[in-house]
Amino acid sequence: MAVASLWREVSLLEERLRISGVRVVDGPEIGTLAPAVARARDALYLFLSDDCPACHEVVASLPVEGLSSEFTTLGVRVRDDLDLEESPGGDVFVALPPWIEAVPDELGDRIAAALRVRATPLAVAVRRGLIVAKGYLRGPEDLLEVARPLRAGAEVEASAAR
């Protein structure tokens, strides 16, 4: 029953994204098993780049208070070979609110590669080892939408929506 409810929630999110015209090409498909490096706990992965002006804008617009204590929010820096030197855009992690846990760069590189992330800012939600949502970010509202399936009671809401 819980799997069916979770699948319904994932389907609703996919439909909303299709209707809005935004096709998220980065990351694994919604509903697939997360790579082992990103499967250990329910988490919202926030992928950011130092040289991405939109990333700096999104981080600056995030609330000081956390989204939820029900899951962990992890900040992952997406780097390419050029980013191994200091970026002219500045360190995007400097302004992260305290509720976002910064992932060390080497682990972040492995997570970003495993999830096939190229474009930023991007959020990916993992629940019970599955990719349950993903989306490019324009502001905190988009982050809240991607995080929605991670909240306790998400299955109840999905089954009530039938």
Q: What is the pLDDT of residues 13-56, one digit of tens each?
A: 555 554 344 568 788 899 999 999 998 889 999 999 999 999 99
Buried b (16+ CB within 10 A) or exposed e, 120-133: bbbbbbbbeebbbb
The closest of 54, 148, 159, 38 to 103, measured between CA atoms, is 38
Most confident of 4-8, 90-94, 97-101, 152-156: 97-101
Beta strands of 28-117 (E only): which ranges? 43-48, 72-77, 100-102
Q: What is the pLDDT of residues 50-76, one digit of tens each?
A: 999 999 999 999 988 887 788 899 999
Residue 99: strand, helix, or coil = coil
All structural domains of the chain: 24-150 (3.40.30.10)
